Structure 1
Amino acid sequence: MSGFRASGEYIFEFWMPKKYFQPDFQQKTSVADSSIENALGDETTLSVHSLNRAICVLIAKVDRFYSQVCRELCLPALHDLCVAIVSSSENRIFYSAQKHIHLTAPVSLLTRISDIISTLSHRPLIHQMFIYPLVSAHFVKVCQCDQESRIAASALAEVVTRLLITESPGMSFNQTLIVPFQTASCSEDCSEETKEQLLCALSQLVLSQADKIGSGWKPLFGSLKAVGAARDEKVHWCAIDVISSYLRIDSPSILSSSILECVPCVVNLLQNSDDSSEVSSAALRLLPNIYSLILYLYSTPHIPNYHLLHRSDLRSKCLDTVEMDQDPVAVPHGPLPWEGKETYEIAAVELFLTFMDQICGTLLTSSPDTQKNLLDMIGRLLVDIANKPLGADSGGVCMSAVILPYVQKWIRRPDVEEVKILKQVIGACTQTVIDMLELEKMSAWRDRLLRDICSLIVECTLFDKTCAVAPAYFTLIANNSTHFSTEQWSIFSNFLATASSQSLRHIKLLNSFFVRSSTDENGDIGDVTSYNPGKLSFRQFIAAVQVFSSRKERFINDDEEDLSSGIALIMLSHGADTHRLEVHSIISTLFTHCLLLQLIASLLLSEDSNPKLKASLIGSTSPIDPKLDHSIYPILYGILSESSETSLDFDSRPAVGSLLSRMLGIEHANLLKILVSSNLIKTMSLLRRFERTKKQELLQEIAKSVKSRSIDLKSVEFEVSTRRSALVCREHAITMYHLVPVENGEENAYRLVSQDFVDDALSEYDKHRDRLKPFVPDRRNPFQQALEDPDTTTIQNNDQNKDDYDETRLAAHRDICLIPLRYVADNLLREHLPDFLPAVSQIVLASPDLAIRQLAVDIMSRLA
């Protein structure tokens, strides 16, 4: 027997081997009723048997004391007893430096505390609420120990199982009972084994008394979230079993108050499980069940969770949306799903939006296969929701105010590593919006959804990691535009124009630092500094060739295929403003612009156009040929005009081209492809519209466009001709007189002679010199190349390349004017030709090309 003093009382524990005492309950009760004197008997000396009987009586009395003390003591006395026992246990576990054998074992003290609290269920609930926090806090502290943690976890589980009650509406006592599990599970000092033991205890509690947990589900899910980060599949399966049991509850009040805590548990399972495991599939199957519970809560009247109502109120005051610096079109949102609804319906709508928000958060951190399955599930839910009780308005708000703003924040994150996954998410959102636009019940949200997805695609053009896919998403929308209204086409066209302007922003900024005809690469307005540490990567170089090279095909050497990646920079500074342009950003944005031009060509040009011309303008894109309203064409023509003007500005600034040529490794970098495409798309579209509508103002617009381009052709012709005539004059200059030395002793005298005198002297010398047989060497002189003048060869090659580029420029400007006029001469009626005579006269005066002369002859022949 040993004693330990705590709070002025002695707490006794008696120890003896089991073989001395193994009574059943009735024997134990009868022994406890006997006295020590009867156990000792009349013997004058204590024998072993009498001593054992006395010890048994004492043990029985102590056991009966702990089993009945909770029923017999008043509340203050019971509280003081619990304080004493807890203090004794704390001193024994945490403050005893030596584990002496005569001290009471910690396990025995924890068991005694459990025995006392387990019988609290017979006392009033207020007593339980007063005593339980004192004991549970001690159990949580002991769970952080190494040796006693398992006993404390078992004791805590036993106490909670005994005290769990069936709660009345509005009560939350069970939540107080299970909070210690959450506290211990979230503690960093608690071992993984103890956490798993706590989870198993909760699992057993759910399996046996799931219908009585009530408000305790909320801290229970908190415990699951703390343990769910483990990689052990057993723990994951245990969590899935608990969640599955919860999803079978049919109490709306319990579901409404705790389902917000359930979804993060499923999210943790998806984030911490492997793709190949069955845990991931099982966790994914839980999400549709949660969605079904949300629909059940929407349809069933109940007292909703006030947290959900508060969140809904905050959301309605500040609805999130896809942000833009300057919105090209103001589109109002559709009807909100919480307007005019009951409180439980409002709570269910907010629960659905929160549920989708948390699923979107899973996309950022989960594995690729899980992301694909989540994207498919999101698409199905938002398309099917129009036929569910939540309604199409909930789906519209979810896509417009939850999913798309979240993806926009994802795009803006500077540390995005998995760009491929991000592109897949944007593509899946685009396809889901397209499917939603086709639903009749989604009519009130069509314009807003189209505006938001187009805004998101414009956001893609602002970042190098996503700008290349923006044209593909615009094309996907355009290919599914069969039922677009005029308002929807206006939204699409305006955002397409915004994306086009964004794709030209870098080259416009670079052009703004140079004046026309500038040849100084250091800039004329401000300072331009270039830094080129190495060559471009192979992929960047291929894109640069497609954008900046005017050659139809370019041979790529073997050494170019092995290019290393580098970051080439152009620093632009003017006053206090400094801009940093990365060369690969210029390439990617202009490549995006080229793809946008192909999309515009597919919208404006029909399939019956010239196949060769269509292939050069549209590329591999299929013609869409929608039925556009007349108000849409000016928006698209504005895009083409901006593209043409930017290309002309680049062409008129040789310094910009030479700077990019040096940094890209491409001879004569230019934007002639963009210039030709933008002008021909516009003029050929006008001709096609005239053939369909027969509006005379369209012919006037075509003639005006050709005349303006002929002015540009004239300036290029004059520039090239001036350069070539100066070169010819330098090459064929004839010296009429020569200075010849005169033999006059020591004086250095010269006399002036004519060219005829020189020719006669050379002829006379040629007659009298010896004629020798020419000698042809058998092998090539290895030093011949070194003896030749390298500067002469370089100059000749540069002049030849310059002539080739001049011809390319002239051909580009001529085609801009010649192709639409040739189409007019071959396809339009005779009475329409006089409208183009001023343009033909202008182009004939601008260029001496024979094709232009032949065009004029053909038009005059038709008019004759």
Structure 2
Amino acid sequence: MVVDILSHEQTSWHSRLLHDICRLATECTTQSGDLPRVGTACLRHVIAAACRFSDEQWTIFTKALWDTTSATLAPIRLLLSVYARNSEGDKEDLGQVMVDSIEGLALKQKILAQQIFLVDAQKKRFLSQDTHDGPLSDLDLIFTVDGAKQRMPVSYLISSLLAHQLTVQIIGSILCPCERPPEGLEKILAASEYGTLYEMPEHVAFEFDRLQRLQAVLGRAIGISRPNLYRQLVSSALIKMYSLLVGALRKSPTDLSRLHDCHNRMVSLLQKAEIQSANRGFATRAREHREEKFEFMLVESDGEKLYRPVSEGDINNVIHEYQKQRPIGLPTNPVDERPNPFMLELSEKDNESFDEPDYNTLGLLAYRQICLVPIEIILSLDNAINLLPQMLDSIKMLIIATPDIAVRKLAVQIINIMSIC
């Protein structure tokens, strides 16, 4: 009904009505349960009347989007504030975050958590575990700061982040239309400020990616080994850069300087992630590589007792021969059939790594997608040959930053286009 009223001829009280409905929607996003999604759904319905918004009404609606973005990120930002940046241990943090119960979440909450903390490429094995669809007491995250204990329901954190995803989609539908943003929005929000609406989700995703202890706590609560916010990071960054591109294409001459600076920053983050991943790979291989060790066995040769160096394989062969000669003295269950408790955990990790992408690989894929998509969009334009020179420095950095084959193919495509000149 409110949308129908706003869609008709404007009167003096339409702005007040819009203000009240937006304030109500924002307040819903701060509540628990399904109310956050109800609030974002209200904002999505209000957009239907945006074509008739006045400058004042666009100001009201833009502020509502900003307030909603802040409100939906407040719970996760509160948890992030407990941890000190670049801390070496929990003693440097402001407090501790713990889970109050060992029971699992309800099936509905696990499905919602999957939409937030997992990307599509990850294995959804936590859904195969024991789940309870009936009413259960909610899990709480308990965190202490300066001795004061606070509680946050896990379902509240999940619902707020899910509402934040919907808010990002709403902003994207406004800033990234087929042709240009609404005229009323352009008057109150300069093209240089389009990306500001995405600064908060980007920063939250960056901080969350660095805090493995918080990831472990949330993973224990929601049943996911390494939760991440890469989905929010990729969507926010791509919509931000696409809105900058749309704004630049309307100028004459076209100025891609803001897109270039934003893309440069993302390429730098990709390069840093590539270096960190390579360093981890080298360290892992160094740990996996075992130098052949030798022991000394006392033997008799030509009447002399000597110590002969033997390898691990030689010792295993000796033990094997001993087992064949002394079958009576062996346990009832063959030794080979008894599981090694130390190797069991390693085999489980090997199976997980085979079926599920590595966490570090997921981070690289996220940054690579962020850096690749804007260049691919530019290449798809009819005037790409005129726009590429403005992005060449950033493209060179991208080629140097990553060995990804998709980037190499992109470089070949750019060379072919530039050679036409």
Residue 109 of structure 2 aligns to which amino acid in structure 1?
Answer: Q
Deviation for aligned residue 1:439: 4.7
1:794 to 329, 335, 345: 345
- Is residue 488 from structure 1 mapped to residue 57 from structure 2 by the alignment? yes
Q: Report the equivalent of 1:570.
A: 141
Gaps of 5+ in 2: 325-331
SS where residue 31 of structure 2 aligns? coil
Q: Report the equivalent of 1:860.
A: 415
Q: Report the equivalent of 1:738.
A: 294
Deviation for aligned residue 1:863: 2.1
- Is residue 823 from structure 1 mapped to residue 394 from structure 2 by the alignment? no
Q: Report the equivalent of 1:554.
A: 124
Give 1:661-810 correspondences, 5 Å limit.
661-694=219-252, 696-697=254-255, 699-735=256-292, 738-743=294-299, 751=307, 753=309, 787-798=338-349, 800-801=352-353, 804-810=358-364
Change (3 A) 1:742 1:752: closer
SS where residue 571 of structure 1 aligns? strand
TM-score w.r.t. structure 2 length?
0.83
Deviation for aligned residue 1:856: 2.2
Find the aligned partners of 1:806 and 1:730 in 2 and give their Cα distance.
18
Find the aligned partners of 2:152 and 2:363 in 1 and give their Cα distance.
27
Change (3 A) 1:721 1:558: closer
- Is residue 444 from structure 1 mapped to residue 1 from structure 2 by the alignment? no
Q: Report the equivalent of 1:544.
A: 113
- 1:24-76 deviation line (CA, Å, top 9, x unaligned): xxxxxxxxxxxxxxxxxxxxxxxxxxxxxxxxxxxxxxxxxxxxxxxxxxxxx
Deviation for aligned residue 1:572: 2.1
Residue 261 of structure 2 aligns to which amino acid in structure 1?
Answer: K
2:25 to 440, 454, 457: 457
Q: Report the equivalent of 2:217.
A: 659
User: Is the Cα–Cα contact under 8 Å of residues 97 and 217 in structure 2 kept in the other structure?
Assistant: no
Deviation for aligned residue 1:666: 1.4
Find the aligned partners of 1:580 and 1:545 in 2 and give their Cα distance.
22
Find the aligned partners of 1:858 and 1:743 in 2 and give their Cα distance.
69
Find the aligned partners of 1:589 and 1:443 in 2 and give their Cα distance.
34
User: Is the Cα–Cα contact under 8 Å of residues 739 and 751 in structure 1 kept in the other structure?
Assistant: no
SS where residue 514 of structure 1 aligns? coil
Deviation for aligned residue 1:845: 2.4
- 1:394-420 deviation line (CA, Å, top 9, x unaligned): xxxxxxxxxxxxxxxxxxxxxxxxxxx
Q: Which structure has the larger Rg?
A: 1
Deviation for aligned residue 1:459: 0.9
Find the aligned partners of 2:54 and 2:337 in 1 and give their Cα distance.
72
SS where residue 186 of structure 2 aligns? coil
User: Is the Cα–Cα contact under 8 Å of residues 676 and 813 in structure 1 kept in the other structure?
Assistant: yes
Change (3 A) 1:705 1:752: farther
TM-score w.r.t. structure 1 length?
0.42
- Is residue 475 from structure 1 mapped to residue 31 from structure 2 by the alignment? no
Change (3 A) 1:602 1:803: closer
Deviation for aligned residue 1:846: 2.0
Change (3 A) 1:554 1:790: same
Higher RCO by CA contacts (8 Å cutoff, separation 6 or greater): 2
Find the aligned partners of 2:89 and 2:101 in 1 and give their Cα distance.
18
Give 1:146-157 correspondences, 5 Å limit.
none
SS where residue 720 of structure 1 aligns? helix
Change (3 A) 1:522 1:443: farther
Change (3 A) 1:852 1:536: same
Deviation for aligned residue 1:674: 0.3
Find the aligned partners of 1:751 and 1:511 in 2 and give their Cα distance.
60
User: Is the Cα–Cα contact under 8 Å of residues 40 and 166 in structure 2 kept in the other structure?
Assistant: yes
- 1:477-501 deviation line (CA, Å, top 9, x unaligned): 0012111122211210111111111
Change (3 A) 1:486 1:459: same
Find the aligned partners of 2:85 and 2:212 in 1 and give their Cα distance.
8
Find the aligned partners of 1:656 and 1:558 in 2 and give their Cα distance.
22
Change (3 A) 1:515 1:842: farther
Deviation for aligned residue 1:520: 5.8
- 1:239-264 deviation line (CA, Å, top 9, x unaligned): xxxxxxxxxxxxxxxxxxxxxxxxxx
User: Is the Cα–Cα contact under 8 Å of residues 471 and 592 in structure 1 kept in the other structure?
Assistant: yes
- Is residue 501 from structure 1 mapped to residue 59 from structure 2 by the alignment? no
Find the aligned partners of 1:792 and 1:519 in 2 and give their Cα distance.
30
User: Is the Cα–Cα contact under 8 Å of residues 536 and 563 in structure 1 kept in the other structure?
Assistant: no
